């Protein structure tokens, strides 16, 4: 049997089986959710079972990339929604901000008084360390997680207070657009205080993406982003 | 409209059905076709090949020449050490390469694997990598070469021998990536003295800072199995304790856990690494490994792999086996059991656990299920005579987990089958002569300093107690509020830098104060004994020597170390120095590790 025939057979078998396999009685993963017995019905008898009990949880399903959806980090994965810069310029998030670029992405909001000032200050250090490479080889993108309050004008004022140079964008926009963008970048949930701790470094063209704590020493962030810049001669630190 | 859950069901069962037709094209070249194959769990369980040693004198010279220029500090290659290694060490040449592996029917999956026979026709890189098998006190020297980079995608790597006490320069320190600015060559030599104190199921895997999660997910992990010492390699170096250990293994353990010695049947000694992956469309090709770099909680998969195969099966005899478990997942915790029902563990079969990460436990412990967090290992004796010939036994996982934060509750009434064993008649090879029962003494902790074994320690001897909190704040993970920075020593709860001295005992309290997340904490350099879990003595399954401990939500454990410099096998011949330098300890949710949930300690001279 050659490979083509196997593939054809596989397809027809799958098509034939679809109606059958949706019957719960045949599905191996049946009973993972709704139809559980109460936990007390079967007491865990081993000590290791007791060890697991310290991990109580709420059930929060997470969509796992599967099938035909573009894989995380590849073209088509990022939403191409319109956002606004601190200069009130509409930009397409994928086409204008990411496509073909090396980027440092952070999350902030202008009224944040706890961590955000430090993370933004760290990015200001990264800006200094990048020098002329900012706006040429690397772009910094700070996305507001409080778009309802962060107008472009508020972002402009914020950017100026950190002496942001060309190549460092502050983005806001329709709440839903901002939510789509941050969710795709792994920033979930509604607690905006939990959104400010991460920076994401990436080279969209090569699909290399890294995440780092924003608290991390700015030199480490700069060094990490430099490794993503395509160069003919390897970077020396 | 079909729900996501239903799609998963269709996909999973469809895959299992189609799996039957692909027998004979698994990545390891094995083609057993079972007459009992049913419409699911039909891919034969693969076994990674044993790594082949380098025997060519020119290649050994090349490896030692490179080691001489690279290795520094306590294990710089002196003339004496070089002569010793030439005479006694095992040498390996292992490359990291991209390769195609048949995981699901149809399109092959691109993996990053290890290849012990680079350039030899017919041998490609595989995941899990080739199994390195050796004995205690028998040094191993490996040259790892990174051939993963492409013009558009440079890949930085390093390799950590997980479970070993290695010199700092060979420990895979996270920032010692290659190739990189500091290590421009794409190869490095690693020297492993193999000074652990008893035989154990260990492993090697990638450990490059920032990218360990992706590298391990793509396949960079393999078994490293260690037997007790024998006299065949280093005359007069076989401690009496190893003789006792060998005798215990010979009489109690199926396959006698004796990798290098003839006369033992490895058919009954089965290493199993369990991993979860997402396979989807990438670059227009189906069945590719999908690593989500934006998942900060830890990457969870929905396709279960055992030894790199999707929910495979194995023909077994109705007798005892040694099963060696490794949780090789990035962020998934498992609670395993054995059941005739593939979906439930309501009638569990008995597991006889006999070893943890550090080797044989003081006492065997009978279990009905077994929690295994990332990087933890457990060895067990499993008796398939608990069921009749012709029946199936399923390895099931009854800990559902839908995100990297933490698993859900243990649900024996709702399990996922991972591996099917089909029980055939018992062959001629007898079971081990001594039956192992709950509470039987396996191998007490012991002290034999003259013979290079030092395991007995007492809390009264502790010269320092230190507290480390594994925290979450503003979406960042930290150890005592600090993020990993290369060679910056972490401060303990009393604001002292963690600088333990060789030969001293310390007690560390490791606390999960991160709210809803769970963290398995892995210590480099030395095994520990658990003293307490949440104020109570640890359960029997956590007795013995460990180097990875699970911190569930709010958990706090106290562990005791004796920071040893187990004299290397060559110490008498060469007078080598102690292992002093920087080691790390970290969360083994590898995404958390990549986000700097990793501390440094500096091991100081006595």
Segment A96-154, tens digit of pLDDT: 999 999 999 999 999 987 777 888 899 999 999 999 999 999 999 999 999 999 999 99
Residue A26 contacts B, CB cutoff 8 Å: yes
Q: Is the peptide bond before A48 cis (omega within 30 degrees of 0)?
A: no
pLDDT tops 80 at residue B294: yes
| pTM listed for this prediction | 0.85
Those residues whose C-beta lies under 8 Å from the C-beta of residue B343, and which sit 6 or more positions away, are A28, A30, A31, B396, B414, B415, B416, B417
Q: How confident is the model at residue B577 (pLDDT cuts 50, 70, 90)?
A: low
State mean pLDDT over B401-405: 92
Q: How confident is the model at residue B567 (pLDDT cuts 50, 70, 90)?
A: low
Residue B148 near residue B208, CB atoms below 8 Å: no
Q: Do A10 and B18 touch (CB under 8 A)?
A: yes
Nearest to B290 among A48, A63, A72 (CB): A72
Residue A226 near residue A210, CB atoms below 8 Å: no
Task: Residue B310: list chain A partners with CB under 8 A.
Answer: none
Q: How many residues does chain B have?
A: 606
State mean pLDDT over B5-24: 34
Residue B153 near residue B218, CB atoms below 8 Å: no
Q: Do B156 and A18 touch (CB under 8 A)?
A: no
DSSP letter (8 states) at residue B235: T
Best mutation site among B181, B183, B293 for testing chain A: the one with the most A CBs within 10 Å? B293
Task: Residue A202: list chain B partners with CB under 8 A.
Answer: 293
Token pair 């001489």 in the structure block, residue: B68
Q: How confident is the model at residue B40 (pLDDT cuts 50, 70, 90)?
A: low
Helix orientation angle between B4-19 and A3-21, rounded to the nearest 10 degrees:
140
Residue of chain A whose alpha carbon sits nearest to that of B300: A64
State mean pLDDT over A53-67: 33
With CA atoms as reference, report the closest residue to A141 among A112, A193, A178.
A178
Mean pLDDT lowest among A71-80, B81-90, B264-273: A71-80
Residues 197-216, chain A, touching B (beta carbon < 8 A): 197-198, 200, 202, 205-216
Nearest to B476 among A35, A198, A217 (CB): A198
- Residue A13 burial (CB count, 10 A): 16
Residue A90 contacts B, CB cutoff 8 Å: no
Sheet of B545-546: strand order equals: B476-479, B462-473, B505-513, B556-562, B528-533, B545-546
Burial of B563 (0-12, 13-18, 19+ CB in 10 A): buried
Distance from CA of A86 to the nearest CA of B (A): 24
DSSP letter (8 states) at residue B35: T
Give A146-207 as a DSSP string: -TTT--HHHHHHHHHHTTPPTTEEEEB--HHHHHHHHHHTT--SS-GGGGSSEEEEEETTTT
Distance from CA of A96 to the nearest CA of B (A): 20
Q: Do B595 and A213 touch (CB under 8 A)?
A: yes
pLDDT at B307: 97
With CA atoms as reference, report the closest residue to A229 among A166, A140, A141, A138.
A138
Max CA separation in chain B (angstroms)? 73
- The CA distance from B572 to B193, in Å, is 13
Q: Do B40 and A213 touch (CB under 8 A)?
A: no
Best mutation site among A4, A6, A9, A29 for testing chain B: the one with the most B CBs within 10 Å? A29
Task: Residue B348: list chain A partners with CB under 8 A.
Answer: 45
**Helix, strand, coil shares of chain B as percentages rounded to 5?**
15, 35, 50
Give the whole-number percent of chain B exceeding pLDDT 90. 68
Write out the E strands in chain A: 82-84, 90-92, 102-108, 138-144, 168-171, 198-203, 208-213
Task: Residue A69: list chain B partners with CB under 8 A.
Answer: 280-281
Helix (H) or strand (E) holding A52: helix A47-52
Burial of B243 (0-12, 13-18, 19+ CB in 10 A): middle
Helix (H) or strand (E) holding B191: strand B187-192
Q: Do A66 and B7 touch (CB under 8 A)?
A: yes
Give the whole-number percent of chain B exceeding pLDDT 70. 87
Pairing of the two strands B392-397 and A208-213:
unpaired
SS3 B108: coil
- Residue B536 burial (CB count, 10 A): 8
Task: Residue A233: list chain B partners with CB under 8 A.
Answer: none
Strand partners, B454: B447
Task: Residue A28: list chain B partners with CB under 8 A.
Answer: 9, 12-13, 16, 40, 342-343, 416-417
With CA atoms as reference, report the closest residue to B186 among B152, B233, B143.
B143
Distance from CA of A165 to the nearest CA of B (A): 26
pLDDT at B153: 83
Residue of chain B whose alpha carbon sits nearest to that of A237: B181
pLDDT tops 80 at residue B264: no
Mean pLDDT lowest among A5-19, B50-64, B461-475, B570-584: A5-19
């Amino acid at each position: 049997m050659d490979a083509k025939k196997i593939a054809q057979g596989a397809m027809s078998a799958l098509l034939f089986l679809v109606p059958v396999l949706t019957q719960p009685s045949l599905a191996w993963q049946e009973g993972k959710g709704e139809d559980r017995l109460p936990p007390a019905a079967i007491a865990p008898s081993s000590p290791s079972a007791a060890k697991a009990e310290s991990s109580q949880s709420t059930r929060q399903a997470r969509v796992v990339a599967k099938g035909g959806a573009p894989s995380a980090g590849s073209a088509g994965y990022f939403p191409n929604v319109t956002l606004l810069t601190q200069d009130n310029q509409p930009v397409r998030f994928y086409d204008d901000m990411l496509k073909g670029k090396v980027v440092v992405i952070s999350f902030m909001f202008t009224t944040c008084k706890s961590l955000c000032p430090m993370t933004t200050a760290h990015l200001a250090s990264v800006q200094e360390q990048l020098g002329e490479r900012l706006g040429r080889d690397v772009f910094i993108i700070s996305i507001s997680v409080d778009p309802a309050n962060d107008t472009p004008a508020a972002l402009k004022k914020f950017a100026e207070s950190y002496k942001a140079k060309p190549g460092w964008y502050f983005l806001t926009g329709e709440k839903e657009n901002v939510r789509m963008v941050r969710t795709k970048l792994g920033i979930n949930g509604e607690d905006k205080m939990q959104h400010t701790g991460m920076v994401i470094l990436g080279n969209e063209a090569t699909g290399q993406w890294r995440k780092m704590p924003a608290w991390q020493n700015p030199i480490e962030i700069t060094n990490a982003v430099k490794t993503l810049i395509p160069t003919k001669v390897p970077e020396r630190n | 409209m079909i729900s996501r859950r239903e799609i998963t069901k269709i996909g999973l069962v469809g895959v299992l059905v189609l799996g039957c037709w692909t027998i004979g094209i698994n990545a390891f070249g094995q083609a057993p076709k079972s007459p009992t194959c049913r419409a699911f769990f039909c891919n034969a369980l693969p076994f990674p090949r044993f790594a082949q040693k380098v025997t060519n004198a020119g290649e050994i010279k090349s490896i030692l020449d490179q080691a001489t220029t690279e290795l520094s500090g306590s294990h710089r290659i002196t003339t004496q050490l070089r002569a010793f290694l030439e005479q006694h060490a095992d040498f390996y040449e292992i490359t990291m390469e991209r390769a195609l592996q048949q995981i699901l029917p149809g399109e092959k999956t691109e993996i990053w694997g290890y290849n012990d026979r680079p350039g030899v026709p017919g041998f490609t890189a595989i995941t899990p990598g080739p199994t390195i098998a050796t004995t205690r006190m028998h040094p191993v020297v490996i040259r790892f070469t990174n051939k993963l980079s492409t013009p558009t995608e440079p890949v930085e790597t390093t390799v950590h021998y997980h479970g070993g006490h290695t010199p700092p320069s060979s420990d895979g320190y996270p920032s010692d990536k290659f190739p990189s600015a500091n290590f421009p060559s794409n190869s490095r030599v690693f020297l492993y003295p193999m000074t652990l104190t008893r035989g154990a199921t260990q492993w090697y895997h990638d450990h490059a800072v920032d990218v360990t999660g992706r590298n391990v997910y793509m396949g960079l992990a393999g078994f490293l199995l260690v037997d007790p010492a024998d006299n065949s390699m280093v005359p007069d170096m076989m401690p009496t304790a190893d003789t006792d250990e060998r005798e215990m293994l010979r009489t109690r353990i199926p396959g006698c856990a004796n990798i290098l010695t003839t006369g033992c049947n490895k058919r009954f000694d089965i290493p199993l690494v369990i991993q979860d992956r997402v396979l989807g469309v990438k670059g227009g090709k189906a069945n590719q490994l999908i690593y989500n770099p934006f998942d900060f909680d830890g990457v969870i998969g929905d396709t279960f792999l055992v030894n790199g195969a999707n929910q495979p099966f194995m023909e077994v005899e109705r007798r005892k086996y040694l099963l060696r478990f490794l949780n090789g997942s990035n962020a998934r915790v498992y609670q395993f059991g054995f059941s005739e029902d593939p979906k439930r563990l309501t009638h569990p079969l008995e597991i006889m656990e006999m070893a943890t990460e550090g080797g044989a436990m003081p006492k065997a412990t009978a279990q009905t299920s077994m929690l295994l967090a990332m990087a933890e290992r457990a060895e067990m004796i499993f008796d398939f005579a608990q069921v009749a010939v012709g029946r199936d036994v399923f390895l099931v996982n009854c800990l559902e987990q839908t995100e990297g934060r933490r698993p859900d509750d243990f649900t024996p009434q709702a399990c996922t089958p991972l591996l099917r064993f089909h029980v055939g008649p018992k062959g001629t090879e007898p079971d081990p002569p001594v039956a192992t029962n709950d509470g039987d003494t396996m191998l007490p902790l012991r002290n034999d300093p003259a013979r290079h074994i030092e395991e007995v320690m007492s809390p009264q001897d502790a010269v320092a107690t230190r507290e480390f909190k594994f925290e979450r704040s503003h979406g960042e993970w930290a150890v005592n509020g600090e993020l990993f920075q290369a060679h910056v020593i972490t401060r303990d709860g009393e604001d002292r830098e963690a600088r333990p001295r060789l030969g001293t005992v310390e007690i560390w309290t490791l606390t999960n104060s991160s709210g809803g997340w769970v963290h398995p904490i892995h210590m480099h350099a030395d095994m520990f004994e658990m003293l307490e879990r949440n104020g109570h003595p640890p359960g029997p399954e956590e007795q013995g020597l460990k180097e990875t401990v699970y911190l569930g939500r709010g958990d706090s454990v106290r562990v005791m170390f004796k920071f040893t410099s187990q004299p290397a096998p060559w110490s008498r011949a060469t007078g080598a120095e102690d292992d002093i330098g920087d080691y790390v300890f970290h969360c083994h949710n590898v995404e958390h590790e990549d986000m700097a949930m990793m501390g440094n300690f500096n091991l100081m001279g006595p």
